[in-house]
Structure 1
């Protein structure tokens, strides 16, 4: 039986486990082009990712001239349709991510995805990449209902419950790249580990993480240090 100090480790998806910047940027830019706007760079779009698709497009439109509520809805539907149809063209796991899952499997640690992406989109992405069955559960931004996505603690609590744990008792950690991730972990009373290679909106030192990793091979030693 493993003596690893954590029984459950959750991961954010975009910018944490999967580098989705290329496909998200393509979807935003196709929509901006349709609307007669200038396109954005991947680096610009990366700073807009993390709060869900609607938030991302809102920021993209604001950066290129603004948008009325009436004009937004059809553009939003267009972006979602394009993204769904091209969801795994460029998206790939970050280096070392799959090896980290292998190590957790060997240690008997349950792993999950908790994302602000729509659950259907997250499920499709992981399915097309052949990774869906690597996670014990998947919780999306719309899984629990309106207002219950990160930074709310509810998705973390739901993850623990789904994996047979007990909130406040089962040793759990969460890995992410945004303030939403670290706040959700903090609100749930568990350690939050920030990845420096994600879609950062601000200096990583300002996220309030319990630890920062630069590569996935640092994750397990970091968790062991946190537990000690």
Structure 2
């Protein structure tokens, strides 16, 4: 196995969650559709669900209501019901993306400092990471909390980089969407995008430093950044 310890002394790794580390769309769709049905609204498709993910759970609910013709005035009630339903079963069909676990094992062995920065509710993110047995790979994680800005604001990304002990290393954001690219730019960090996530725009058009097909290519991308 290749030794990536030199890269680990140069970079710390901050990962987006939904669409990057995990495929969470099936459980999000199930929760949204349960609440939509309770209000007599149509269910949303998987394609719609994936398009609505990325800017936090309240925004997901807002987009689902708008797409199905639901009245905006029920958004607060809708979100509360969604949150209760989703938090009761956030990792039934959710699973790690291709090659994620193997890549994290290699990165952990090379002593990379690693964290997660997500727009998902922090307690929900912790539950999912724990249930999928991914939590031990990460020094810390930052999610949505009252009073905390969301990506593309740089605040959560910078906080995560600090918490994982980036120090003199360069923090790199690994994500899947334009929100990740913008957050990285706002935080003056390089960004690697992974194909197969939740974006309607081709990743190579979003302005990332490197685009990779899967996590199998993460270390090659880091070598490109180091060159």
TM-score by length of 2: 0.93
Q: Which residue of 2 aligns with 1:32?
A: 36
Alpha-carbon contact 1:141-1:150 (below 8 Å) kept? no
Give, in whole Å, the separation in 2 of the partners of 1:3 and 1:113: 22
TM superposition shift of 1:202: 2.2
Q: Any residues of structure 2 matched to 1:9-20 within 5 Å, and which?
A: 9-20=13-24
The answer as to 2:68 corresponding to 1:67 is no
Q: Find the residue that maps to 1:73 and give its secondary structure.
A: helix
State the partner residue of 1:131. Answer: 134
C-alpha contact (below 8 Å) 2:14/2:115 kept by paired residues: yes
Cα drift, residue 217 of structure 1: 0.7
Runs of 5+ unmatched residues, structure 2: none
Displacement of 1:105: 1.3
Alignment partners' CA distance in 1, 2:51 and 2:200? 5
Unmatched segments (≥5 aa) in structure 1: none
Superimposed CA distance per residue, residues 21-61 of structure 1 (whole angstroms, 9 cap, x where no aligned partner): 10000011111101101111111110000001110011111
Indicate conservation of the 8 Å contact 2:176/2:194, yes or no: yes
Q: What SS class does the counterpart of residue 117 from structure 1 fall into?
A: strand
Q: CA offset at residue 170 of structure 1?
A: 2.1
Q: Are the equivalent residues in 2 in contact too, given 1:156–1:185 (CA < 8 A)?
A: yes
Pairwise CA distance, 1:74? 1.4
Alignment counterpart, residue 49 of structure 2, candidates 23, 38, 45 = 45
1:150·1:184 contact (CA, 8 Å) conserved in 2? Answer: yes
TM-score, normalising length: structure 1: 0.93
- Kindly report structure 1 stretches of 4+ aligned residues shifted beyond 3 Å: none
Equivalenced residues, count: 223
RMSD after superposition: 1.5
How far the C-alpha of 1:216 sits from its partner, in A, is 0.8
Determine whether 1:85 maps to 2:88. Answer: yes
Secondary structure at 2:114 match in 1: strand
Alpha-carbon distance between aligned partners in 1 of 2:118 and 2:126, rounded to the nearest angstrom: 11
Distance in 2 (CA, whole Å) between partners of 1:155 and 1:86 is 25
CA contact (8 A) 1:7 1:108 kept: no
Map of 2:217 onto structure 1? 218
Matched, 1:121 2:133: no
